[in-house]
Structure 1
Amino acid sequence: MTDPDTPGLAGKRALVTGGTRGVGRATSLLLAGAGARVVACYRDDEEAAKRLEDEPGWDAEAHRTLRADLSTPAGRAAAAGACRELLGGVDVLINNMGTYAPRPFAELSDEDVARCVDKNLTAHIQLTRELLPLLADGASVVNVGAGMAERGRPGHVHFTAAKAGLAGFVRSLGKELGPRGIRVNTVAPGVVETERGLDLPAPVREGLLSAIPLRRFGTAREVARTVVFLASDTASFINGVTLRVDGGI
């Protein structure tokens, strides 16, 4: 029985990067609950992968977790190989991996900038290219970006610049792959509570809440629902967009 909160995705073959924590974890579970077969990639958190594998509905025969550093050629090749061997192709690619390390602009090193852009933008482009031979006609690619990429925020210049690059990525690639029926979109979350909570000083927390018209933070599941919607056939005529999920901030 599939999850009633998700569109029908029965039989779809999905790869979710950063798929064992936060929004990625919620997306992996929603896709699995909707009847998709899921490979959830992670870089190094074995405990998070184990927790996902222990979730009700995560059938080890239908779904897999895969340890791979997707910022490296070897890691991307491993992900492609797993999709080829376990799934036989890809109908849904969720580019959710990333890194977050805010720092004042004047203190940014070249390494800080390169690492942030690599993991939040370049790796998405490279992995999508790696998987291109496996993407089925009519497939959907969904990136997880960040709402602050449009608004900007002090201490986040490298992060917002990388995430803003996803808008150009989806607009151009959506046009290039559109003749095959492949759609490419981005979800841009606002401030989100994950299973690990949101550890912020009280003044910062209150300041953020006051800027959100709904007066609450989003949840990983709420963002994941939007990701899964864009991945599904329900969104079959949505292509090249960045959809904000931020409570109206």
Structure 2
Amino acid sequence: MARFTDKTVVITGAAGGIGSALALLLRAEGARLVLHDLSPDALAALPAELAASAEVVHVAGDGTDDEVQARIVTAAESLGGVDGFAPAAGIYLEAPLAELSFAQWRQTLSINLDAVFALTSKLLPVLNDNAAIVTFASVAGERGSRGHAHYAASKGAIVAFTRTLALELGSRGIRANAVAPGIIRTRMTNDSVSKHGDEWAAGTPLGRHGEPEEVARAVAFLLSPDSSFITGVQLDINGGLYMA
């Protein structure tokens, strides 16, 4: 399959478990990529298929920073404008509400929500007609999550933002959808899985945690023409955890 030949996709959090799995999948299907992550070392450690080249541009730095966002936009424009955008960067920190500081609250919303709004806004002028946006929500945004009020709030808000994008950009053929992963085996969830993994798996209808590639395949579908009449939806990729 080559659903992304001559298409440019921007991925933030590209060195993370889900981001890198998505980048590998899209590159195998012909996509040009703008890959962002906080650390240049993390980007340099990506598989050889994702090394910086004429068709794969690396942008390192704090994704909440205006200058870093501007470099992402410039890179995307140099590759022909944006046909797909997957803001996968995020943080997942544990803190019970009674111990949650305002600084921790703002840090999580800044990365998980504010940066998505800011970069989306900056990409609008280089967003090609019929492009697709896939944001990252979470089962926590649907159900709440003990010890993760800041994370759950950011992910619930992402869905409302995404549906508004679908409403406002639909006249250009641009689609916007969200995916809601459950517990996926990545570095970001290692600590929480080590504490609660067995309990969470037992509460999931499929009885296990997910893998990054399972999320990547769903995101690729929503970015591709295969989902050409789907917009404004949240796709749950959590083994049925949202029902438990």
| 1:226 to 2:218 alignment | yes
Match of 2:53 in 1: 60
After superposition, the C-alpha distances for 1:152-185 in whole angstroms (9 at most, x for unaligned) are 1111111100110011111111010000000011
Match of 1:165 in 2: 157
Q: TM-score, normalised by structure 1?
A: 0.91
Match of 1:188 in 2: 180
Partner of residue 23 from structure 1, selected from 10, 13, 18: 18
The residue identity in structure 2 corresponding to 1:48 is: A
Q: TM-score, normalised by structure 2?
A: 0.93
| 1:69 to 2:62 alignment | yes
Paired with 1:203 and 1:69, the residues of 2 have a C-alpha distance of 29
Q: Is the 8 A contact 2:38 2:62 kept in 1?
A: yes
Match of 1:235 in 2: 227
Label 1:58 to 1:10 Cα distance change in 2 as closer, same or farther (>3 A). Answer: farther
| 1:48 to 2:55 alignment | no
After superposition, the C-alpha distances for 1:76-102 in whole angstroms (9 at most, x for unaligned) are 1111111122x1210001111111211
Any unmatched runs of 5+ in structure 1? Answer: none
Task: State how many pairs are aligned.
Answer: 241
Paired with 2:189 and 2:174, the residues of 1 have a C-alpha distance of 35
Paired with 2:57 and 2:15, the residues of 1 have a C-alpha distance of 11
Match of 2:71 in 1: 78
* Aligned 1:138-217 pairs, distance under 5 A: 138-194=130-186, 198-199=190-191, 204-217=196-209
The residue identity in structure 2 corresponding to 1:110 is: F
Worse overlay, 147-156 or 224-233: 147-156
Higher helix proportion: 2
| 1:38 to 2:33 alignment | yes
Paired with 2:190 and 2:63, the residues of 1 have a C-alpha distance of 26
After superposition, the C-alpha distances for 1:34-55 in whole angstroms (9 at most, x for unaligned) are 11101110012x3321221x43
The residue identity in structure 2 corresponding to 1:51 is: A
Any unmatched runs of 5+ in structure 2? Answer: none
Worse overlay, 121-130 or 63-72: 63-72
* Aligned 1:86-165 pairs, distance under 5 A: 87-165=79-157
Label 1:57 to 1:78 Cα distance change in 2 as closer, same or farther (>3 A). Answer: closer
Partner of residue 12 from structure 1, selected from 7, 26, 43: 7
Q: Secondary structure at the match of 1:118?
A: helix
Deviation at residue 202 of structure 1 after TM alignment: 5.9
Paired with 1:156 and 1:196, the residues of 2 have a C-alpha distance of 13
Backbone CA RMSD of aligned residues? 1.8
Give identity over the alignment, percent: 36
Deviation at residue 64 of structure 1 after TM alignment: 2.1
Paired with 1:119 and 1:182, the residues of 2 have a C-alpha distance of 24
Runs of 4+ in 1 over 2 A off after TM superposition: 54-61, 194-203
